[in-house]
């Protein structure tokens, strides 16, 4: 699948280790270097600001989507190629999904997970056929992916939906994997009859 734009979900905090900042910078640079548009939550704080600044500094196009109410809290980034101000969280996520060909989560908090899981469930249900990835830093996501595998083993998540979410520690290797990913879905309910 040829990508034109990538959405990045990430912390509105920077985390405790400098490795998180470094990964956000490396991802922003890699996205810009490939000529991809970065789509993200539009804030200037935490890893959000770092990934956006890195992409801009590398000459990339960066589009931010921010709810009016969060514009001051997350400090709407003043120097983006475009900042769209929307009504609320749902509109933000829908717009980010609409504008993006793939999704990557850097380390982050509750908001990052919520955004990632929502767009993943949309893919599982066949609302879109776009790939997702975790950019792992120092094993940050190891426990989560272990639990996701447990959910597959216990029969709550299908293997084909689990594999929609890839993981890598290298931005370029992850972007390569997303580019080469082929949609395999029949949507979750396609082969099931009502009980």
Residues forming contacts to ligand AMP in the complex (CB under 6 A) are 11-13, 41, 43, 70, 74, 89, 93, 108-112, 114-115
- For residue 136, the minimal CB distance to ligand AMP (Å) is 16
CB neighbours of residue 184 within 10 Å: 10
- Which one, 111 or 126, has the nearer CB to ligand AMP? 111
- Which one, 99 or 173, has the nearer CB to ligand AMP? 99
CA distances from 129 to 18, 22, 139, 149, 185 (A): 34, 30, 27, 21, 8
Q: DSSP string covering 50-108, please?
A: HHHHHHHHTT--EEEEEEGGGTTTTTB-TT-SEEEEESSHHHHHHHHHHH-SEEEE-S-
- Distance, in Å, from the CA atom of 187 to the CA atom of 116, rounded to the nearest integer, reads 18
- For residue 48, the minimal CB distance to ligand AMP (Å) is 6
- Which one, 109 or 186, has the nearer CB to ligand AMP? 109
- Which one, 50 or 70, has the nearer CB to ligand AMP? 70
CA distances from 151 to 27, 132, 156, 163, 192 (A): 29, 18, 5, 13, 20
- Distance, in Å, from the CA atom of 132 to the CA atom of 141, rounded to the nearest integer, reads 14
- For residue 29, the minimal CB distance to ligand AMP (Å) is 21
- Which one, 41 or 131, has the nearer CB to ligand AMP? 41
- For residue 39, the minimal CB distance to ligand AMP (Å) is 12
Candidates 127, 146, 134; CA nearest to 174 is 134
- Which one, 92 or 130, has the nearer CB to ligand AMP? 92
- Distance, in Å, from the CA atom of 45 to the CA atom of 186, rounded to the nearest integer, reads 39
- Distance, in Å, from the CA atom of 88 to the CA atom of 68, rounded to the nearest integer, reads 7
**Residue number closest to ligand AMP, CB atom:** 111
- For residue 151, the minimal CB distance to ligand AMP (Å) is 21
- For residue 143, the minimal CB distance to ligand AMP (Å) is 16
């Amino acid at each position: 699948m040829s990508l034109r734009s990538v959405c990045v979900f990430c912390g509105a905090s920077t985390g405790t280790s400098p490795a998180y900042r470094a990964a956000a910078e490396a991802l922003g640079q890699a996205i810009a270097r490939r000529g991809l548009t970065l789509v993200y939550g539009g804030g200037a704080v935490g890893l959000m600001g770092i990934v956006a600044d890195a992409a801009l500094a590398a000459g990339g196009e960066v589009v931010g989507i921010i709810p009016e109410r969060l514009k001051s809290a997350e400090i709407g980034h003043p120097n983006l190629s475009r900042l769209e101000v929307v009504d609320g969280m749902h509109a933000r996520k829908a717009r980010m999904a609409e504008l993006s060909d793939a999704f990557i989560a850097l380390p982050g908090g509750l908001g990052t997970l919520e955004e990632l899981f929502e767009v993943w469930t949309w893919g599982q249900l066949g609302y879109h056929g776009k790939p997702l990835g975790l950019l792992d830093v120092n094993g940050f996501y190891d426990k989560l992916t272990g639990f996701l595998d447990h959910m597959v083993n216990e029969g709550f998540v299908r293997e084909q939906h689990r594999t929609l979410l890839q993981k890598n520690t290298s931005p370029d290797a992850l972007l390569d994997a997303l580019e080469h990913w082929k949609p395999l879905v029949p949507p979750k309910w396609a082969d099931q009859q009502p009980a």
